Amino acid sequence: MSELRFDDVTVRYGAGRRTTTAVDGVSLVVPPGEIVGLVGESGSGKSTLARAAVGLAPVHGGQVLLDGEPVGGRRRTAGPSPVQLVFQDPASSLDPRMTVGESVAEAVPRERGRTSAAARASARAEVERLLTLVHLDPDRAGAYPGQLSGGQRQRVAIARALAARPSVVVADEITSALDVSIQGAVLNLVRELQRDLGLSILFISHDLAVVRYVATRVAVLHRGRIVERGETAQVLGDPRHDYTRSLLAAVPSPLTGPLTGGTIDSTRTTRRPT
């Protein structure tokens, strides 16, 4: 299990007078094996922080640390990154011309010193393991993304991320493009992966209802700054900051009920959290 730590991180885009400070001095910890939620309206800097976690944002100040080591730092050994990012739109991370199996296989790190037949067999077994892990039938490995539902495509994207055997996953709006009827099932998968694999997860969403369902702690981002943070039940149940209150006010009423530790029954989810 790993700890992801943002230490006074500032990210700026552009130069000169057209500089945008998208993330402004953010310090945030995702403790080992925990799911931390990050909420905020569109443009508040959530995706920028997500990209900073994998070394893909122009970090202007501060640093992002994985177990105390800078991410993307020179001292990191070669191989797949221990921090993996999953995006909102699985279509953008999947090649439509590749089968599900090929897409997942491509993300599996190559083993050295194996004969090609043995390497192929072990890659096939790994693809099967990964598809099973995300509850996709390994028999669907021959299917193309276009033949899958949005929820199944997102499971493939998650399987690809898990191929790297990460210790931290940054999930950026991963249920936002999905039908409400299948959001619950993907959220249950997120909780299961945290529990079974000991993953530390930064779970980003503009949707307070989904964050409330998966995260034990939450931080509220407003114009690149964290304005409130704490236990999810406390922050969403008794917000201190006006901005958090305004976010909560935008959520339809069935979702503002008490926080439950239960499980969404994905066969009859009727929530409409947009």
Find the radius of gyration of the CA atoms of the chain. 19
Q: Which stretch binds Mg ion (CB under 5 A): 14-22, 39-47, 90-98, 137-145?
A: 39-47
What gap in Å lies between CA 95 and CA 30, rounded to an integer? 31
H helix or E strand, kind and range, residue 59: strand 59-66
* Shortest distance (Å) from residue 27 CB to ligand ADP: 17
Does 40 engage in binding with ligand ADP (CB under 6 A)?
yes
Q: Per CB under 5 A, does 47 bind Mg ion? A: yes
Nearest distance, CB of residue 85 and Mg ion, angstroms = 12
Q: Does 151 participate in binding ligand ADP (rule CB under 6 A)?
A: no
Q: How many CB atoms lie within 10 A of CB 4?
A: 26
Candidate residues 1, 8, 20, 246; the one interacting with ligand ADP per rule CB under 6 A: 20
Burial class (CB in 10 A: 0-12, 13-18, 19+), 252: exposed
Question: Which of 1, 19, 27, 43 forms a contact with ligand ADP (CB under 6 A)?
Answer: 43
* Selection from 222, 221, 220 nearest residue 230 by Cα: 220
Q: Is 44 in the site for ligand ADP (CB under 6 A)?
A: yes
Please name which of 239, 238, 219, 215 lies closest in space to residue 229, comparing C-alpha atoms.
219
Binding of residue 45 to ligand ADP (CB under 6 A): yes
Question: In angstroms, how far is CA 111 from the centroid of its own chain?
Answer: 27
Binding span for ligand ADP by CB under 6 A among 26-34, 36-44, 135-143, 240-248 = 36-44
- Binding part of the chain for Mg ion, among 45-53, 184-192, 229-237, 249-257 by CB under 5 A, reads 45-53
Q: How far is the CB of 240 from Mg ion (least distance, A)?
A: 24
13 binds ligand ADP (CB under 6 A): yes
Does 47 help bind ligand ADP (rule: CB under 6 A)? yes
> What span, in angstroms and rounded, lies between the C-alpha atoms of 221 and 23?
9
Instruction: Return the SS3 of 116.
Output: helix
Q: How are strands ordered across the β-sheet holding 225-231? A: 83-86, 168-172, 200-204, 35-39, 217-222, 225-231
CB closer to Mg ion out of 46 and 212: 46
Q: Does 274 bind ligand ADP (CB under 6 A)?
A: no
At residue 201's C-alpha, the angle toward residues 198 and 206, to 5°, is 150
Q: State the distance between the two ends of the chain, measured CA to CA, in whole angstroms.
A: 32
> Binding-site residue total for Mg ion (CB under 5 A)?
2
Structural contact between residues 190 and 171, judged by C-beta atoms closer than 8 angstroms: yes
Smallest gap, in angstroms, from Cβ of residue 89 to Mg ion? Answer: 11
Q: Which of the listed partners (ligand ADP, Mg ion, none) does 48 bind, with a CB threshold of 5 to 8 Å by partner kind?
A: ligand ADP
- Which of ligand ADP, Mg ion, none is residue 45 near (CB under 5 to 8 Å by kind)? ligand ADP
User: Given the rule CB under 5 A, which of 40-48, 57-65, 218-226, 254-262 is the region that contacts Mg ion?
Assistant: 40-48
Q: Interface residues with ligand ADP (CB under 6 A)? A: 13-14, 20, 22, 40, 42-48
Q: Interface residues with Mg ion (CB under 5 A)? A: 46-47
